Amino acid sequence: MAAEEKKIRYDRETEIAYSKLQDALDMAEIIFCEYDMKNNVFVHRSRFHENIGIDHNVQTMGEVENDDVTILLEDKHKIMEAIEAVKNGIPRVEIECRVLTAEGYRWHRGLYKCVYDKEGNPESAYICFVDIHEKKIHEMELEHRIEREPLTGLLNRRTMEEKVNALSDTENGETAFLLTDIDDFKNVNNLYGHGYGDKVIIEIGKILQQVFKENSYISRMGGDELAVFVKNVPDRATFLEQVETYLNLVRAYGREECREISCSVGISFSAQICFDTMYKQADEALYMAKYLGKDRSFVYGAPVLAPDGEEEPVLVKSDIKKVTNDMMDIFLRCAPNSMIFMEDLNTNITRWTAAAVDYFGFPGEYIRGFDRVWIPKIHPDDIDGYLDDIMDTREGRKKVHCYEYRVKNKYGEYVWIHCEGRIFHDDEKNIHIFMGMLNNYGSYSNFDAGAEEH
């Protein structure tokens, strides 16, 4: 009888202790349960389930995995992975997941502590969840501000670079890097104001997000330049169709705004992921899209076709020798180190002096389609001004091409140059020869800070 009384007293004390533990857990807002590995069930030791209207305190693994709503569906894999870890003998596992409460799903930190039997085998696991919702939301907002740029909410350049370089070549197949900017964006700002220019940039970002929804990172690189990196490109044709959809949506947006709004696109494909390399290639392709008329895309390494559809070589020799030899010889006698050029506008072949060929690393003295060699060397901030001034001169709006800009020499250094050139006409008054000279001011440090671009 004494033994029976002792057992009753022990059970009563245990019940009181357990009730106090539940009260303490409730006051601390801690969810506590035990996972019984032998019976494969969860036993809830706090009143958590009662507080959200669930009247049972024992659940099987199947119920937790398939039917239980207390863990947000997209976070359930974390629960199952943690259970597998403790079953395999890992002594302590931490996770973060969203747990259903009377206020809805809130972020909790879960701690799984493995308990071993006398032989040292995993027997059960104690599990507790602590509410970290406000802290987690603050961290997520802070991370968002660090990773995103404020105008569009897209990734900033630093984050884009980190995410791309963190990818594995073997897991992502062929990838694509798309670089795009708004054609004649300076005119948009000048005509309609910078506020409207910002509005256009935001809309272009939304269109990119609409078109490139899957397996992609989208970033505002700076100014009106945006980029898309796409993993596991299924085939190039499908991707290029997406690019054309993007360009069409931009055109449609321009029509809605009653404005001439278009974008150009440069594209790099590669199975070897390197942000710097793919960005540079897409950048050069973007220049070529601009040169070919804007409002289009160009793929890095693609041939440039002549009007008859045949590929044009970059380096050729031509009858321009007959036209220019005597004139060039005269100039070279007067200034042997001058950087002089002469372009036959009918054949699109340019001749450069040896000094220019050596300094800029040109493929030769005679070059057909010279802009394909020259434009990629121009500093990104100067490209629009250069193209505008060249077109004004060639189309007769200016008599003289006169422009100061930065260009890359064969050493990869940007140097300031002053270019001055004039169009000469034939007997029938058609444009025939474009001739000019470059003055090399040298690197940034050697350039007069008071000199401005024209």
More confident residue, 55 or 182: 182
C-alpha distance from residue 423 to each of 2, 111, 390, 403, 435 (Å) = 119, 77, 11, 15, 7
Q: For position 338, what pLDDT does the model report?
A: 67
Percentage of the chain with pLDDT > 90? Answer: 28
The mean pLDDT of the chain is: 79
- Write down the pTM of the prediction: 0.50
pLDDT category of residue 51 using cuts at 50, 70 and 90? low
As given in the structure block, the two tokens for residue 272 are 């070897």
| Residue type (1 letter), 263 | C
Give the model confidence (pLDDT) of 263-315 as tens digits: 999 999 998 999 999 999 998 888 888 877 789 999 998 865 544 445 544 43
Cα–chain-centroid distance for residue 355? 39
Q: For position 47, what pLDDT does the model report?
A: 56
**Long-range Cβ contact pairs of 218-221 (< 8 A, separation 24 or more):** 218/154, 218/155, 219/154, 219/155, 219/156, 219/157, 219/159, 219/160, 220/149, 220/151, 220/152, 220/154, 220/155, 220/156, 220/157, 221/157, 221/160, 221/179
Residue range 90-109: mean pLDDT, rounded: 85
Counted residue by residue, the chain has a size of 454
204, pLDDT greater than 90 = yes
Give the model confidence (pLDDT) of 111-126 as tens digits: 888 888 888 888 888 8
Residue range 419-428: mean pLDDT, rounded: 80
399, pLDDT greater than 50 = yes
Give the model confidence (pLDDT) of 165-182 as tens digits: 998 766 768 999 999 999
More confident residue, 21 or 87: 87
Residue range 63-76: mean pLDDT, rounded: 74
User: CA-based Rg of the chain, rounded to a whole angstrom?
Assistant: 34
446, pLDDT greater than 90 = no
More confident residue, 443 or 281: 281
Exposure b/e, 46-78, CB count within 10 A at least 16 = b: bbbbeeeeeeeeebeeeebeeebebbeeebbeb
CA distance 450 to 334: 30
Q: How many CB atoms lie within 10 A of CB 316?
A: 15
Of 216-225, 254-263, 296-305, 310-319, the poorest mean pLDDT is in 310-319
Q: For position 225, what pLDDT does the model report?
A: 94
